[in-house]
Amino acid sequence: MVDVPRAAATVRLTHQVGLHARPSVSLTKRAKQFQARIELALQADGPWVDAKSIVKVMATRAPQGALLHFRAEGEDADAAVRGLVALVEGNFETHD
Amino acid sequence: MTARVGIVVVSHSHEVASGTAAMVRQMVGTEVPLAFCGGDPDGGLGTDVAAILAAIEGAWSESGVAMLVDLGGAETNSEMAIDMLPEERRSRVVICNAPIVEGAVMAATEAWGGACLDEVRRTAEELSAG
């Protein structure tokens, strides 16, 4: 077994409307910029959904105040998790 | 990177088509080729094959075009427009079986990420699959 880099982090969703349409699109777009497999969950023990799937991310319907758990697996796993946490902490302000 | 799949929105109403396209641009961005049409040539409600053809041309991408349409006539006229395309383009245009607004945003998000035409369609249709 090759040791694949993994990373995980948890961040509180402060965006006022929660993970609705626009934040979901931003999150999915950011996730797609990384090679790593990235998953998102509202509970630490899952269920985990593919953070690159706009349909699944939007379906989580995470409300304001919810904890978002991220985990990633792949060469850029650490950068991916940090990027997504930064996006949530930055209230989904995107500059791309 | 290969070209992003294009998105075409076809509604009976110009306002619905235009508003849907505005949502895609605001939420997903302007990197995805996007075109829309709505209303009949006289300004009423309806769809027009020539306008649909122009929209497909406007959003054309070598990777193909995914269409989001509303009620019945929008679909049959879109099928007719696809039939009128040059043969080598026909197989690269698909009509997604998905709600027009949600489908357009989902399809565009997937297209933005560089997904192929089939993945873009599946993402839009995943919505209705529940």
pLDDT per position as a tens digit, B93-126 = 999 999 999 999 999 999 999 999 999 999 999 9
Asked if residue A30 belongs to a domain, the reply is yes
Residue B25 confidence (pLDDT) above 80 = yes
Structural domains in chain B, CATH included, are: 6-129 (3.40.50.510)
Asked if residue A64 belongs to a domain, the reply is yes
- The residues facing A12 across adjacent strands are A67
What's the pTM value of the predicted model, to 2 decimals? 0.90
Q: Which entry of A15, A20, A69, A95 is annotated as an active-site residue? A: A20
Residues 61-120 of chain B with CB under 8 A from chain A are 105-106, 109-110, 112-114
**Nearest-CA distance A55 → chain B (Å):** 7
Asked if residue A67 belongs to a domain, the reply is yes
Q: Residue A28 has what pLDDT? A: 97
Q: Which residues of A touch B125 (CB under 8 A)?
A: none
Query: Predicted ipTM?
Result: 0.83
DSSP string over A32-90: HTSSSEEEEESSTT---EETT-HHHHHHT-PPTT-EEEEEEESTTHHHHHHHHHHHHHT
Question: Looking at the partner chain, which of B27, B106, B112 has a beta carbon nearest the beta carbon of A55?
Answer: B106
- Establish if B27 touches chain A: CB-CB under 8 angstroms: yes
Residue A95 confidence (pLDDT) above 60 = no
Asked if residue A46 belongs to a domain, the reply is yes
Active-site annotation holds for A69? no
In degrees, to the nearest 5, what angle opens at C-alpha B7 toward C-alphas B79 and B101?
Answer: 90
Q: Which residues of A touch B109 (CB under 8 A)?
A: 25, 28-29, 54
Q: Residue A2 has what pLDDT? A: 74
Q: Using the structure block, give the residue that is written with the tokens 């959003």.
A: B59
Distances in whole angstroms, Cα of residue A23 to Cα of each of A2, A34, B60, B101: 35, 18, 28, 16
- Put simply, the answer to whether B109 touches A22 (Cβ < 8 Å) is no
Residue B130 confidence (pLDDT) above 60 = no
Q: Residue A24 has what pLDDT? A: 95
Overall number of domains in chain A? 1
Q: Residue B2 has what pLDDT? A: 86
Asked if residue A1 belongs to a domain, the reply is no
What is the rounded average pLDDT for all residues in chain B? 95
pLDDT per position as a tens digit, A37-76 = 999 999 999 999 999 999 999 999 999 999 999 999 999 9
- The residues facing A37 across adjacent strands are A73
What is the rounded average pLDDT for all residues in chain A? 93
pLDDT per position as a tens digit, B38-54 = 999 898 999 999 999 99
Question: Looking at the partner chain, which of B27, B110, B127 has a beta carbon nearest the beta carbon of A22?
Answer: B27
The CATH number of whichever domain residue A55 belongs to comes to 3.30.1340.10
Asked if residue A94 belongs to a domain, the reply is no
The parent domain of residue A84 ranges over 6-89
- Put simply, the answer to whether B123 touches A22 (Cβ < 8 Å) is no
Residue B129 confidence (pLDDT) above 80 = no
Q: Residue A15 has what pLDDT? A: 86
Asked if residue A75 belongs to a domain, the reply is yes
Asked if residue A15 belongs to a domain, the reply is yes
Q: Residue B84 has what pLDDT? A: 97
